[in-house]
Every structure is written in C-alpha cells, then in structure tokens.
Chain A
Amino acid sequence: MKLTYKFNNDEKRLDIERLDYLSPLDTEIYVREGDTIYVKDGDYLYINQLIKESTSGIKTYATISGTVELKDGIIKVINDKSDSSFVSEEAVSKIDEVKKEEIIKRCESLGIDYENKLIVNKLKGNSRLLIVNAMDVEPYQFNNNYLFQDNVSILLDTISLISKRFNIDAYLLLNKYDDNNVNAVKKVIRNYSDINLKVIEDVFPFNTNQLVVKKFFKEYKYDDILFLDTFALYKIFYAIKNGLPVSERYITVNLGDPNKAYVIKTKYGANVGEMIKETIKVDFIDKDIYLNNFMRKVKCDNLDSLIVTDNIKSVFIFPKEDILPSKCIKCGKCVDICPVGINPLAKKLDSACIRCGLCNYVCPANINLISKEK
C-alpha cells in the first residue's frame, strides 16, 4: 500500500506493509502502586474481562483468553489460543439511539481514556468543541490513519452522535496528503451536517493538539475542547455499540528506511519485541531503538521488556548511530526551526517546549537539546 507523506518539507511516497499479530503467546500488565486488581493467580480470563483499575480510574481488560500468572508486579495472561470472549449484555444495534447519559455511563464504566486522562471528565464538563484529530501526531507514524481508513463510517457516526448529544460543534481533521481517507470522507460527509471537515497539511509538529488550537481555533481555550484521536473515538464507539473495551491496537514499525514502514495490528499487552520478531523477522542486535518519535532521541534499551499500551505508537529500529555529539557551532538552526519559538540552546529548557525533537533533528552537532530538564 502506498501513502503520500510529507515531513520536513519533503514529500514522500511510502510503501506501507500491514501485518497482524493478534495471537501473542501471552500478554503482560504492569501493576502500579494503588491499582485495584480484580484477578488472582491461576484464574481463567476471557477476552474483555476486567483485570485492574488504576487510581485515576483507567481500567485494563484482558485482550486474550487464558490463565493468569501473577509475579513481581506483573499480571501475565498465558494465551490458550481459544479466543474465548466475554459478551456484554449492553450491546445496541444502532448507536444513534443511545442517549447522552448512556454514553457517559458506558465511557465511565469502561474507564476510557485519551492521553492518560479519563474522557468522561471532559464529557461531563463544559466542552464547547469536539476536535477529532485523525492524523498521526508523531512523524512517520500511520496508526490513526489506518484505523480511520478501516472504520470511516462508524467513526463519522460516532462524531455525529457526540456532537448531537452534547450539543457541541465537531471538527474532523484529516491529513491533506492522506488521499484514501480524504476521498472516503468527502464522499459521505454531506450526510453528516454536524461534522466540519478540515483538511490540513500534516507537517510535523503543527498537527499536535496545542498547535492546531493555536493555528485554527484561536477563539477557544484549550481546556474547553474535547480532543480525541482516532483510537479514543473508536474506543468510545466500541463502548457505545458493544459495551466492551477495545483489545486491538496498531503500531508502526520503521527499520530506518524513510520509504518503507510496517503497521502491525496487535493486542494490548502483547510483547513488542516478540511482535516485531514474529512479524517482520528482524533482530535488535547493534541497533538504536527509539519509541514514538525518533527525533526526541530517547533510546529504548530493551524491546523485549516492552508491552503494547496506548503510549506505544511507533518503534524505530535504526542501525547503530556512530556519530557522537560534538561542540555546538551556534548555527542557530534549532532556534529557527522551533515551532513554539523558544531557544533550545538556553541553559534550562523553556517550559513551552513541546518536545517535538525538531531541534535535535536539525542539529548538525548531533546534540540532544531536549534532554535538559524543564
């Protein structure tokens, strides 16, 4: 599958291969202090069965069926490959019949979150605008793109439903270069009078939520906006329609080739290292591994201890970098490129820094400028 993508003023045509890793050997969940655990060692779990709840109310469910192993603060579910699933009695045939209170109730009971914050707080609050950012915020990442492509009509239905039930304006942001999604939405958008389509140039990092508001929605305060990405919207849809959590997630993997990427559909809790070894058949010896945004230069030492969560969006496995940082030549490129207009060379990093990593990317001296403390 080919996709046009623009990065750093460079328009590319990417070859993207889609892969599935839906039956991992096991899934793991890390238990943190204060978490309420609903399972015990030896229990048999069905898919969608509640495993734990965090102090902030975010819930974690089983994404595979199998036996529980509790060890060293990790809840492990050993896959029995039967895909036995817990069925909710709350499923509805049509989502447009669901009332506002029911939407809130379902999102609350499933603990649906976006960027580690419960969505229900925003739904219950006084949000004045709904913005669904269907673009992938980080560079060279195509998860939102593909999830949207696979579920165009149901996601549009969900946006429309939230807009109607909560009486707020809704905007859908699409990437100008994402021909498939733009064309698919344009064909049907006239059926959704309450959705405003905004096709924008996806130039990193101007599609981050903060910068989108600054650029296109100046009249709104950031806190008054209910922001969702495709995944959060899909979780809401699934909660309304089936009364169940979503167990699958897309992750983009890049092996250092800007013209080729892999989008892997997998289960929450699956081991990232195993997933990549099984699907793409690569090893990680003598490689530099970066998560989500390679420009931040935050290296991941061990992929084998990493599990799929909402925070893992992409994995970049690059050949080991043999260029060490050298002395700053004060070329000022980092200052020129900074999207929020701060000076990354300052001794202490400005709190306005959005950690996009563009300064790192342009730095000829290979200095990690955002590693300084804010």
Chain B
Amino acid sequence: MEKGFFKKNKILGINLLYILSVLPLIIFGFYKNGIVVYQHDFISLLLALQYLIIPIVIIILSYVFETYYYMGTKKEEDTNSVVNSIVPYVNVLCYLVCAPNDYLWLTIPLIIVLDVLLKFIDSKLAINQIALFKGILFGVMTLMNNLNYANLYEASLSSQVTDPAMLFIGNGIGAIGVTSSLCALIGYIILLFNSYYKKDIPIVAFIGYAIVSIIMYFVGGLSFNDILVNTFNSGLLFALIYVASLSTATPVIRSGRIIYALLVGVLCAISVNILNMDIGVYIVILVLGLLSPIFDKFKLSLGE
C-alpha cells in the first residue's frame, strides 16, 4: 500500500535503525579491545576477532530463540513477532556493557538463558521484563568481572587516561562498548532518524545531570575537569542514549517520561560524581525502569 495510509512493517525499520545505531560502538569496542590489544601482542588474532564475532552470534542466537519462543511455544503462524522483536538489540546492549576479559564468551549463554527465564515469567508476573533483564545482567556481569573493566593492554599500563578529550573519544577504561561518548553521540544522531525512539529522555536526563553537576561545582568543590572526567569515564552517555531510553522499559506518557528522565539524570549525577560508582548509573536506570508504570500515572500539564 502507498505511503500515507497504513505503512508496511514499521517495527522492522525501527529495529534496523536500533542495530545500526550500535554499530559504531561495536566497531570501536573491536578496535579498542581487539585490534589495539592484538597490536601490542597481548592477545591472538582470533581473540581479537571475538569482539566482532560475539555481537553477531548474539544477534543470530536471539532471533533463533525468538523464533522458537513465538512460533514453537506460542504457536504463532506469522513471523511478525520474531522480525519485530527488540530483544536482539537489547541483547547487544548487554554485550556492550560487559567487561573485555576472559569471561566474554560466557555472556552469550548468560544473555540467552536469562532472556528465556524472564520471557516465561514475564506474562505470569506482569513485570517489566526488559528492565529486569538489563538489571540482572548488568549485576551479574559486574560481579563476574569484580569491577575490573581494563583489557590486558590497559591493565599493563602504569597510569590511566585522565584527559577529558581522550576520554570523550573513548580511551578510558570501561566496558566493551560504553567508553566512547563520541560513538554514543553518533549513535544518537542515527537514532534521531527513528521517529519511535524516545529522543527526549537522553536530553532531559542530561539536563538533570548537568544541573546537579553544576551545583556540585559550586557547592561540592568539584572541579570542571573532575566532572568531565567522571562524565566520560562512567559511560554516562551510552547509558542515557541507549539504556535509559529503551522504549519497552520507560514511561509512555510524556510527563511521566520527563519526570523519569530528570530523576535518571539527577541520580546518575549523584552516583557518578559523589559516590564515584559507575555501575550506579545502571542501577538507577534499572530501578526507575521498573517503576515506569508508576511514572505513567503522572499526568501533569507538561504540554499535554
């Protein structure tokens, strides 16, 4: 049918844009944790390539599982639910927040098993499956890595990068795909072409984060450089652009969205700048994501 009335499968296009938006992060993660480390002879070429192979395997396995779930278990005859599933994208996000270390191949079964478990209890408990999924996975990955996110090359260096500009590009220590704020911003620009992406959440959250950070600058004695270093070192932009705005785990009402985003920004600022806890960003997003049905009850007159 012609453009203008009902359009063809819109979600397929939405999901393709989502996957496209994480490509800069995957490629940068491959470069930083694979190519650079391989060039310094810390890992073999095969291990370097794992940073490119694993996300592809995750996407393929996610679709295989979605096919089994919808067409095998739920007996759906149409492939729509499989093609339209946002799960492969969420699973890639989970991979991107993993640490670049020996446990990396474990992420694949972990992601799939967790996804299976939550999918089956989702309908029974009426929980926000994606939000819980993200949270549990981030928690497990953090415990497994014991908060150590340095790759072998970075671990061998005597000092960490502290130049905000270098950190912005992505030369800080962190999970596979979260260190480059630049790549996250490129991803955000790609996501702006997706009219179904909740583009207001990262902006409002960042405004909330900036306001609290400025207050800390004046009241808390933090230097501007400290704030920039904390911001780019914590993978904040990745969290706000990709995780905090994930449509299935965020409020749908505009006013609820704005309150949610503001709270995310404020609590992230406290977590990053006061508690110096990078994982706190994800805990904040997890908790607020689970509370999104409550935010949907807010109906303030914010332009609605």
Q: Which residues of A contact B257 (CB under 8 A)?
A: 332
Residue A222 CB within 8 A of the other chain: no
Assuming the contacts A323-B80, A326-B84, A332-B257, asked whether A364 and B5 have C-beta atoms less than 8 A apart, the reply is no
Contact of A343 among B6, B195, B296 (CB under 8 A): B296
> Which of these, A257, A323, A366, contacts B2 with CB under 8 Å?
A257
Kindly state whether residue A40 has any CB partner on chain B within 8 Å: no
Known contacts A327-B81, A364-B196; is-contact A332 B251 (Cβ 8 Å): yes
Q: Which residues of B contact A318 (CB under 8 A)?
A: 1, 5-6
Least Cβ–Cβ distance between B113 and chain A, in angstroms: 21
**In chain A between 332 and 353, which residues have their CB closer than 8 angstroms to a CB of chain B?**
332-336, 341, 343, 345
Instruction: Determine whether the beta carbon of B252 is less than 8 Å from that of A10.
Output: no
In chain A, what residue has the closest Cβ to B296? A343
Assuming the contacts A327-B84, A341-B304, asked whether A332 and B1 have C-beta atoms less than 8 A apart, the reply is no
From B9-17, B158-166, B207-215, the one touching the partner chain is B9-17
Question: What residue of chain A has the Cβ atom nearest to residue B9's Cβ?
Answer: A323
CB distance from B289 to the nearest CB of A (A): 11
Residue of B nearest to A327 (CB): B81
In angstroms, Cα B52 to Cα A40, docked, is: 82
Q: In whole angstroms, how far apart are the Cα atoms of A60 and B248 in the complex?
A: 52
* Given A256-B2, A323-B9, A364-B10, CB of A332 within 8 Å of CB of B247: yes
| Contact size range, B | 20 to 34
Whether B253 pairs with A331 at a CB distance below 8 angstroms is no
CB–CB B247/A331 < 8 A: yes
Report if A321-B250 is in contact (Cβ < 8 Å); known contacts: A332-B257, A364-B14.
no
Contact residue among B3, B6, B195 (Cβ-Cβ distance under 8 Å from A361): B6
Min distance, Cβ B68 to any Cβ of chain A, angstroms: 16
B78 on the interface (CB 8 Å rule)? Answer: yes
With contacts A318-B5, A327-B84 known, is A332 near B14, CB below 8 A?
no
User: Could you tell me if A319 and B254 are in contact, using CB atoms closer than 8 angstroms?
Assistant: no
Q: Does B32 contact A (CB under 8 A)?
A: no
Binary interface encoding of chain B residues 118-153 relative to chain A, with 1 for a CB under 8 A from any of its CBs, else 0: 000000000000000000000000000000000000
Is A329 in contact with B14, judged by CB distance below 8 angstroms?
A: yes
Whether a CB of chain B sits under 8 angstroms from the CB of A268 is: no
- The majority secondary structure among interface residues of chain B is loop
- Contact B11–A329 (Cβ < 8 Å): yes
Q: Which residue of B lies closest to A321 (CB)?
A: B6
- Contact yes or no, A258 B4, CB < 8 A: yes
Chain A 298-318 per-residue mask, 1 if CB under 8 angstroms from chain B, else 0: 000000000000000000101
CB distance from B227 to the nearest CB of A (A): 31
Contacts of A331 in B (CB 8 A): 14, 196-198, 247, 252
- The reply to whether B1 and A321 contact each other, CB–CB distance below 8 Å, is yes
Most chain B CB inside 10 Å of its own CB: which residue of A7, A334, A343? A343
A227 at the interface (CB under 8 A from B): no
Q: Is the CB of B296 within 8 A of A323?
A: no
Asked if residues B1 and A319 are in contact (CB atoms below 8 Å), the reply is yes
| Residues in B whose Cβ lies below 8 Å from that of A316 | 5
Query: Are A329 and B247 CB-contacts (below 8 A) given A335-B252, A364-B196?
Result: yes
Other-chain residue from B86, B253, B254 in contact with A329 (beta carbon distance below 8 A): B86
Against B, the Cβ 8 Å flags (1 = close, 0 = not) of A228-259 are 00000000000000000000000000001111
Q: Which of A256, A324, A335, A366 contacts B5 (CB 8 A)?
A: A256
Q: For A203, what are the chain B residues with a Cβ–Cβ distance below 8 Å?
A: none
Known pairs A331-B198, A336-B254, A343-B252; A10 contacts B14 (CB<8 A): no
For the complex, is B75 an interface residue (Cβ under 8 Å from A)?
Answer: no
- Give the residues from 11 to 35 in chain B that come closer than 8 angstroms, CB to CB, to chain A: 11, 14
Nearest chain-B residue to A332 (Cβ)? B252
Closest to A364 in B: B10
CA of A200 to CA of B6, assembled, Å: 26
How far, in angstroms, from A341 to B84 measured CA to CA in the complex? 27
Whole-angstrom CA separation of A64 from B160 in the bound complex: 91
* A-side contacts of B299, CB under 8 Å: 341
Alpha-carbon gap, A327 to B8, bound state (A): 16
Chain B residues, CB < 8 A from A10: 4
- Whether A330 touches B2, Cβ cut-off 8 Å, given contacts A323-B9, A324-B80, is no
| Cα A41 to Cα B55 with chains together (Å) | 76
What residues of chain A lie closer than 8 Å to B250, measured between beta carbons? 330
Is the C-beta of A61 less than 8 angstroms from some C-beta in chain B? no
Residues of A within 8 Å of B195, CB to CB, are: 333
Residues on A with beta carbons closer than 8 Å to the beta carbon of B6: 294, 318, 321, 323, 361, 366
Q: Does A118 contact B (CB under 8 A)?
A: no
A335 to B296, CA, bound (A): 10
Which residues of A have CB within 8 Å of B3? 258
Assembly CA distance A238 to B197 (angstroms): 53
Report the minimum CB–CB distance from A326 to chain B (whole Å).
Answer: 4
Pairs across A and B, CB under 8 Å, 14 listed? A7-B4, A10-B4, A258-B2, A316-B5, A318-B6, A323-B6, A323-B9, A325-B80, A329-B248, A331-B14, A332-B253, A332-B254, A335-B253, A365-B11
List of 5 A-B pairs having minimum Cβ-Cβ separation, nearest first:
A258-B4, A332-B252, A364-B10, A331-B196, A326-B84
Given contacts A258-B4, A329-B14, 10 further A-B contacts (CB under 8 A): A12-B4, A258-B5, A259-B2, A321-B6, A329-B196, A329-B247, A330-B249, A332-B253, A334-B252, A336-B254
Chain B residues with CB under 8 Å of chain A are 1-6, 8-11, 14, 78, 80-81, 84-86, 195-198, 247-254, 257, 296, 299, 304
